[in-house]
Each structure stands twice: as C-alpha cells, then as structure tokens.
C-alpha cells in the first residue's frame, strides 16, 4: 500500500522540521493533496493514523487541502479543470493536455509547540 509509505515519509519530514526548531510536539500538520496525485484519501487517513502513533504527531490535527486538477491544452492553449489524467480538451477535444495543477502531494506546513 503506497499510502503507508507516503504517510510515513510525511511524518518523518514533519518530525525532522520540528526537531530543527526544538519543538516538543506538533500541533497541526497541513497537507496538500492534488486530486490527480493518485491517493486514496481513506487509505491515507488510515495510514496517517497508524504512522503518527508514538511520534511527535500523535495528537496533531491533520488538515488536508485538496487541490483541483487543472490542465492546459497543448493544441489550442485552453486552460480547464481536469478530474482525471486523461481528460480531453473541452474546446478542441485534443488529448495533448499538460497538467498544471493537481499532482501535488506535499507537507505544506506544521504548527509546533
Ligand atoms: Zn484544445
């Protein structure tokens, strides 16, 4: 399950940053998740829940920011919302679409104490 390795690396990264600031614990973790990142949100929640046990994030609030997919047509330059990686251009029907947004999967910020 790749959500588990993602959750674990998020937790590690957050702890690393918290330690650099001599924090005792992490109060909040903010994640950015693009809707094209290929993440099962339910699986990620579950993975995070088990990954934070015994870490500085044990009682942290996890905030998830969802990012909608956005693409630009390589043929007619139209910019539009995409819900899958294989959405054709709504203007000209081309599949030569460059994904601009929506593949993000990152730790945006942490709140420490
Ligand atoms: Zn187009």
**DSSP-derived 3-state class of residue 76:** coil
**DSSP-derived 3-state class of residue 1:** coil
Q: What is the chain's length? A: 113
Ion ligand 1 contact residues with beta carbon within 5 A? 73, 75-76, 78, 89, 91-92, 94
Smallest Cα–Cα separation from 3: which of 49, 66, 55? 49
* Tokens describing residue 30: 């903010």
**Quick one: pLDDT at residue 37?**
93
Position 103 confidence tier, pLDDT thresholds 50, 70, 90:
very high
Question: Tell me: the pLDDT tens digits for 56-71?
Answer: 999 999 999 999 999 9
Position 112 confidence tier, pLDDT thresholds 50, 70, 90:
very high
Distance 106 CA to ligand 1 centre (A): 30
**Any domain includes 42:** yes
**Domain extent for 23:** 2-68+102-112
Distance 55 CA to ligand 1 centre (A): 48
Structural domains of the chain, count:
1
Q: CATH number for the domain including 36?
A: 3.30.2320.50
Distance 95 CA to ligand 1 centre (A): 8
């Amino acid at each position: 399950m790749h959500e588990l390795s993602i959750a674990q690396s998020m937790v590690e990264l957050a702890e690393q940053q918290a330690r650099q600031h001599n924090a005792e614990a992490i109060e909040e973790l903010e994640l950015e998740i693009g809707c094209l990142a290929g993440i099962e949100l339910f699986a990620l929640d579950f993975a995070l829940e088990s990954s934070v046990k015994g870490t500085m994030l044990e009682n942290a609030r996890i905030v998830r920011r969802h990012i909608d997919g956005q693409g630009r047509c390589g043929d007619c330059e139209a910019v539009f919302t995409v819900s899958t990686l294989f959405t054709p251009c709504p203007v000209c029907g081309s599949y030569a679409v460059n994904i601009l947004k929506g593949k993000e999967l990152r730790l945006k910020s942490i709140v420490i104490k």
